[in-house]
């Protein structure tokens, strides 16, 4: 029973699927097959391109920082060379002659004003000559750290210190030894110029670059990290080769040691600024991806909607066409059914005609009693005709598809009553073997009438003339079995396989719909149909119907 119920439900669902559900499934599937490759390929390309671009950007930045460091080194080397050149070409006595040092100072600053002042200092730290804006001629540097270092080395570049002028500056000192002992040519480097040189890393406007000494003291001012001569947060100042790069809080810091002086060159750049162009590319890529994805989604939804709507519409039309086809087939079989009915009506009319002719004759003879008898005969024939018409129309009229208590024997009797004339005309003997004591079946009476009508007409068509049809009804465990057996031509084994297929027919005038409709009706009503046949011996159609619907 439950199997029948499931078949019935499945049949109903296949019959009209939930198109919106189908639509959703199609949309999801189409989006998955189009978006997943897009995401994989796009993502891969994105990853590869961004890695290459990142690498290139960092390499070019590294090159830039290195070359800038070289420029700083070169500046210090050139300034040192300038002082060496002067000390080599001019003797101490020449240097201390009035006006010479001023002339040398002017000559050094002629091309590039890189020095603030210039002084000649003897071995005791006293100023022998001085050119510059400060009053330092009387000052003695014997205790100054730079002096100490300069006396030890031939060339010395100091850290930044305030000195006598009380302003942060650094100096380059070149030691020369003559017969009178050592003397030093010392020059203060133009701090503003040097600061600009250090801080301006070409191409990177938003960077911060500065120098710190071994102790982490700022040697040039920093835009963000601290002021000149303040302690920086840079630790671990051991010497290393090449460039070190580290990232913290979105800031990329590159550090490298200068060659001429033990200062650490530090460049700090916001990560966003380094990769700003890359981010623009990301944005553009993302936008293109989103636009593409949106277009895909839009196209998929639009086309699927259209397709599903068409499908829905067509399915709906198919249902209507099916219904019309069934109706047409029903009308066709009803036409066959009507032959007997028309014959009965014809007989009735003929009887009325005869009676009317008799009445005319009797009127002439004025035999009133006989006239009355014949009028009664006309009335009785008219009533017979009326009953035949009622029976026929009641049988063939399409009823509403409502499940009610159906008396199977009753339906078969009504059908046989209509076909009575036709059976007699074709000389078909009808045998009834009905079981009468089974309950009614809950089913669709109008559909069952259609079903049995098709089967009986099929049997009659198989017999053609002179034969026998046996109707058996039996109550089985959970329903009723109706067997309609004819002794007609029978069905070949090959045709038996296809007999319930739509449009399959062996008759030249057949529609091939009758039995397929029978199968369809029984499926919907939860019943079943089978056939047993032997060629030349006839066929038996076995219909099984459950007592209870569903």
Partner 1 sequence: MIKKENLKQAIDNISKRDPEIGYSLNEMFRGRRIDTPSPPGEIEPGGDFYFFFDKQKIPVRKFIYFNYGTAPVEQQLLIKHGELTKKQELLNRQGPLNYIQAAIEIRDAGLRLMVVYEIDCLIAQLKKDNIESYEHLISFLEKIKKNNQNLKLPEEVTDPAVLYRGLVGIDTQALFVQFPFCMDSLMQAGDINLEYFNVRFLLNCLVQGTEKKLFACVVKQKIVGFIFVKFRKEMFYKGMELKYIATLSGVSTQPVPKGIGTFLVAGIWMLWKCKITDVKEFFLDSEIGAKRFYESIGFASRNFYQYTFKNPKGHLVKSIIIMANNCKNLRPDIIKTITRIIKKQIKSLRRQAKDKKQELSRKVAIDCVKECLRPGAHPEFSKTAITMLNKYKKKIPESKNLIQKFTNSKK
Phi, psi of 421 (to 5 degrees): -65, -40
CA 77 – CA 398 distance, rounded (Å):
113
The interface region with partner 1, picked from 16-24, 212-220, 364-372, 536-544 by CB under 8 A, is: 16-24
What x-and-dash track marks residues 107-146 binding partner 1 by CB under 8 A?
----------------------------------------
Q: Name which of 246 and 400 has its Cβ closer to partner 1.
A: 400
Q: Rule CB under 8 A: say whether 7 interacts with partner 1.
A: no
Our finding on whether 67 is near partner 1 (CB under 8 A) is: no
Among the listed ranges 57-65, 251-259, 337-345, 397-405, the one in contact with partner 1 (CB under 8 A) is: 397-405
Residue 506, burial from CB neighbour count under 10 angstroms (0-12, 13-18, 19+): middle
Q: Half-sphere exposure (CA, 13 Å, Cβ side) for 312?
A: 12
Of the two residues 322 and 351, which places its CB atom closer to partner 1 in the complex?
322
Helix (H, G, I), strand (E, B) or coil at 386: helix
Q: Interface with partner 1 includes 314 (CB under 8 A)?
A: no
Stretch that binds partner 1, among 8-16, 102-110, 354-362, 507-515 (CB under 8 A): 8-16
User: Does the protein bind partner 1 through residue 319 (CB under 8 A)?
Assistant: yes
Stretch binding partner 1 (CB under 8 A), from 88-96, 205-213, 316-324, 378-386: 316-324
- Comparing CB distances to partner 1, the nearer of 6 and 60 is 6
Plot region of 269 (φ>0 → left; ψ -120 to 50 → alpha; else → beta): beta
Taking the complex as a whole, the smallest distance from the CB of residue 31 to partner 1 amounts, in Å, to 21
Collapsing DSSP to helix, strand or coil, 377 comes out as helix
| Per CB under 8 A, 2 contacts partner 1 | no
Distance of alpha carbon 519 from alpha carbon 242, whole angstroms: 90
For the chain, the helix, strand and coil percentages under 3-state DSSP, each to the nearest 5: 55, 20, 25
* String marking each residue 521-540 x if it binds partner 1 according to CB under 8 A: ---xx---------------
Provide the minimum distance between the beta carbon of 520 and partner 1 in the complex, in angstroms, as a whole number.
Answer: 11
Contacts of 429 (CB under 8 A, 6+ apart): 423, 467, 468, 469
Binding residue for partner 1, selected from 1, 6, 10, 18, defined by CB under 8 A: 18
Give the Å distances, CA to CA, from 178 to 127, 175, 287, 549: 17, 10, 75, 130
Please state, in angstroms and rounded to a whole number, the distance separating the CA atoms of residues 336 and 371: 38
> Length of the chain in residues, anyone?
550
CB of 313 to partner 1, least distance (A): 9
Q: How far is the CB of 525 from partner 1 (least distance, A)?
A: 8
Strand 467-476 vs strand 428-434: parallel, antiparallel, or unpaired? parallel
Stretch of residues binding partner 1 (CB under 8 A), selected from 136-144, 268-276, 401-409, 420-428? 401-409
How many residues bind partner 1 (CB under 8 A)? The answer is: 29
Among 162, 181, 399, 536, binds partner 1 (CB under 8 A): 399
Residues 438-467 that bind partner 1 (CB under 8 A): 442, 444
Tokens encoding 430: 């009808």
Smallest separation, CB 411 to partner 1 (Å):
14
Q: The sheet that has 171-178: what strands, in order across it?
A: 127-131, 115-122, 181-189, 171-178, 155-157
240 within 8 A of 234, measured Cβ to Cβ = no
* 20 in contact with partner 1 (CB under 8 A): yes
- Could you tell me which stretch among 2-10, 175-183, 258-266, 487-495 binds partner 1 (CB under 8 A)? 2-10
**Token reading at 480:** 């009723």
Own/partner contacts of 200-203, CB < 8 Å, gap of 24 or more, are 201/64, 201/65, 201/68, 201/267, 202/64, 202/68, 203/64
Vertex 174: Cα angle to 170 and 180 (nearest 5): 135
Residue 1 as a binder of partner 1 (CB under 8 A): the answer is no
393 binds partner 1 (CB under 8 A): no
Taking the least distance from each CB to partner 1, the nearer of 97 and 323 is: 323
Provide the binding-site residues for partner 1, judged by CB under 8 A: 5, 8-9, 12-13, 15-16, 18-21, 312, 316, 319-320, 322-323, 399-404, 442, 444, 524-525, 549-550
């Amino acid at each position: 029973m439950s199997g029948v119920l499931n078949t019935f439900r499945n049949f109903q669902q296949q019959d009209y699927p939930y198109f919106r559900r189908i639509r959703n499934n199609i949309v999801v599937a189409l989006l998955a097959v189009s978006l997943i490759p897009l995401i994989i390929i796009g993502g891969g390309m994105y990853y590869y391109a961004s890695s290459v671009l990142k690498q290139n950007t960092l390499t070019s930045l590294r090159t830039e920082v290195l070359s800038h460091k070289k420029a700083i080194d070169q500046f210090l080397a050139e300034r040192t060379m300038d002082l060496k050149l002067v000390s080599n070409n001019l003797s101490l006595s020449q240097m201390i002659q009035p006006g010479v040092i001023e002339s040398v100072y002017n000559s050094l600053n002629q091309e590039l004003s890189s020095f603030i002042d210039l002084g000649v200092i003897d071995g005791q730290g006293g100023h022998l000559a001085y050119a510059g804006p400060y009053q330092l001629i009387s000052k003695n540097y014997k205790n100054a750290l730079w002096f100490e270092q300069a006396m030890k080395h031939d060339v010395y570049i100091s850290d930044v210190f305030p000195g006598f002028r009380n302003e942060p500056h650094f100096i380059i000192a070149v030691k020369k030894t003559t017969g009178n002992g050592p003397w030093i040519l010392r020059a203060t480097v133009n701090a503003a110029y040097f600061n600009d040189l250090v801080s301006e890393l070409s191409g990177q406007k938003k960077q911060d670059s500065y120098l710190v000494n071994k102790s982490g003291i700022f040697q040039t001012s920093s835009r963000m990290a601290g002021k000149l001569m303040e302690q920086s947060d840079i630790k671990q100042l051991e010497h290393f080769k090449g460039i070190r790069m580290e990232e913290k809080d979105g800031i990329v810091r590159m550090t490298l040691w200068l060659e001429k002086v033990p200062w650490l060159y530090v460049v700090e750049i916001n990560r966003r600024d380094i990769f700003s162009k890359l981010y623009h590319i990301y944005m553009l890529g993302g936008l293109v991806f989103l636009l593409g994805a949106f277009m895909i989604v839009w196209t998929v939804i639009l086309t699927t909607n259209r397709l599903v709507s068409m499908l829905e519409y067509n399915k709906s039309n198919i249902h209507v066409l099916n219904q019309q086809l069934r109706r047409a087939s029903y009308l066709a079989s009803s036409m066959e059914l009507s032959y007997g009915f028309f014959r009965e009506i014809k007989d009735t009319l003929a009887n009325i005609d005869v009676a009317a002719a008799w009445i005319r004759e009797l009127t002439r003879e004025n035999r009133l009693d006989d006239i009355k008898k014949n009028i009664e005969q006309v009335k009785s024939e008219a009533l017979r005709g009326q009953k035949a018409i009622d029976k026929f129309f009641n049988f063939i009229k399409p009823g509403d598809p409502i499940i009610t208590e159906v008396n199977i024997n009753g339906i078969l009797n009504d059908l046989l009553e209509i076909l009575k004339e036709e059976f007699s005309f074709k000389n078909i003997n009808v045998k009834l073997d009905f079981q009468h004591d089974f309950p009614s079946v809950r089913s669709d009476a109008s559909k069952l009438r259609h079903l049995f009508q098709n089967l009986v007409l099929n049997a009659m068509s198989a017999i053609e003339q002179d034969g026998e049809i046996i109707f058996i009804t039996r109550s089985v465990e959970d329903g009723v079995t109706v067997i309609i057996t004819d002794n007609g031509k029978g069905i070949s084994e090959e045709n038996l396989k296809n007999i319930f297929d739509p449009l399959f027919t062996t008759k030249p005038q057949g529609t091939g719909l009758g039995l397929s409709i029978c199968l369809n009706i029984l499926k919907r009503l939860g019943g079943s149909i089978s056939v047993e046949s032997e060629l030349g011996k006839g066929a038996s159609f076995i219909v099984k119907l459950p007592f209870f619907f569903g």
